[in-house]
Structure 1
Amino acid sequence: MWSGSAEAPATARIALLAPSLQPSERRVAEAIAGDVEAAIERTAQQTADLVGVGRASVTRTAQSLGYDGYPQLRVALARETVPGGQQIADAHTDRTMLGSLRSAVDRFAGRLSRSVSALTEEDLQEFVRVIADSQRLLIAANGLSSPLGLDFAMRLLSSGRPAEYISDTIGQQIAAKQLGPGSACLVISGSGANRASLEVMTAARASGATVLLITSFAHSPAAQHADNALVVVPITDSFRDELVHTSRAALMLLTESIVGLLVERQGESARAAQSATLSVVSRSLTD
């Protein structure tokens, strides 16, 4: 069931919840996401006939996405489309390599604004507070999310918030077990299903530490283990696309923005740390 922001668009909710829906509901959700314009025009029964499920499955899908029923879901889809009923589409049609690149960038830009649509002010404030106030902060990220973990730890350090980043998965678990109350473990996992990251979360929770998560899927195993999860809507269309294309751009944008929010919260001490960082960076540059 949807528990994110009430302002989140319908397609964003589908992207976040589809992996955790029942098989029949997932088929309905994927059919809707695959052709939003057609879904707006179809009744619940027409959608059920198209997908090959009962009408009750269509209603349950809408309710799982946070709507009273399918009519309310259709209204939400209509609101999401741009004036005139046309969805944002790729503007470039040339098939050159440069044309494909431009289309990819346009597609990304068109979806970027929805990436944080599921976040709430309360969750974000608490997330930043825990980062700021924890005695120790362990950053854990594995697989294709690993570069984000290292980047995030470095950015936090430059803002005056020391954070531990360990690339070895066993080392992560050892560190997590030693955190204890008053400390925090922040995990970055696009899929929310990385086994090594889940083991780190379990170890951190057993130690009494607060477990934070940045992920792309609301009902992933990792989300169930977190005390506070910031769920970023995938730029790609589905869980399958997330596994195949593995874009972490939206997650990186969030981590960079969180550092900015932390600097605002910490005020002069964070700005002094950033100034010291720039001094070190400047000395490392050469003509």
Structure 2
Amino acid sequence: MGGPLILTLSCADQPGITARVTSFLYERGCNIIEAQQFNDRAGNEAGDRFFMRVAFDPDGIDSGRLGAEFSDFAKAHAMIWKLARQDRPCRVIIMVSKFDHCLVDLVYRWRTGELSIDPVAIVSNHPREIAIRSDIGEIPFHYLPVTPGTKDEQEAALRDLAEENQADLVVLARYMQIFSDAQARHFAGRCINIHHSFLPGFKGARPYTQAYERGVKIIGATAHFVTGDLDEGPIIHQDVERITHADSAADLVRKGRDIERRVLAEAVRLFVEERVLINGNRTVVFRA
């Protein structure tokens, strides 16, 4: 039976669609706890689109039965939809290279109950297990090195790992490797990356130093879905921090890492709470 359920959906915008969805739930004795909608009338090639997120108490109705009944309803309206249990932690694989700040922050938020995730694996392209074992505890660690000759093999190993662990989400927590187009397609809509918002202005391994040398006044970070276009996937969350002339290059690095941590954590929270719906190259984010 379980606790509250979350229904998310999108379809062509049409009169009365909100009433039909809420009536469907009402007729089955469900009590709506939270409901949000968005009518995208941008006039794009796909036409006007409707997006909705509903959290509700099923009042003892089996979620499997409810989902089967809604499936017929959804087909009649050509909906893309998902029904999820609110109390089920999202099964997550976290990928990291040499910088651990985002990884450690996510693990801390999980341990304190701030993030409803279940970290099923930590993956790194560097042999980092000894260095981070005290931070990740008993979470399984997998060292999957990447070279031009082993990239296909490594990506296949990641796909197998995700399938074996029934992972709902892959988080690139400062994972400094580029997914192939095939890998990006495989994890489409369930892989989140974090990067500094200087791209494409400040590329390479030392973006904060470059920003310092140019005297920037604002730094930031962006969390987005991974696609085949490098760092150009649909944006989930962003944040910025102001910089003054008194800040050193080291200050920018420190502040930048702090922004990266909180932006990635918020993007993961929004995803696991079923608050992010992809809308072409953009997202619809239903905030609490």
Please give the TM-score of this superposition, normalised by the length of structure 1: 0.28
The structure with the greater share of residues assigned to helix is: 1
Larger RCO (alpha carbons 8 Å, 6+ apart):
1
The structure with the greater share of residues assigned to strand is: 2
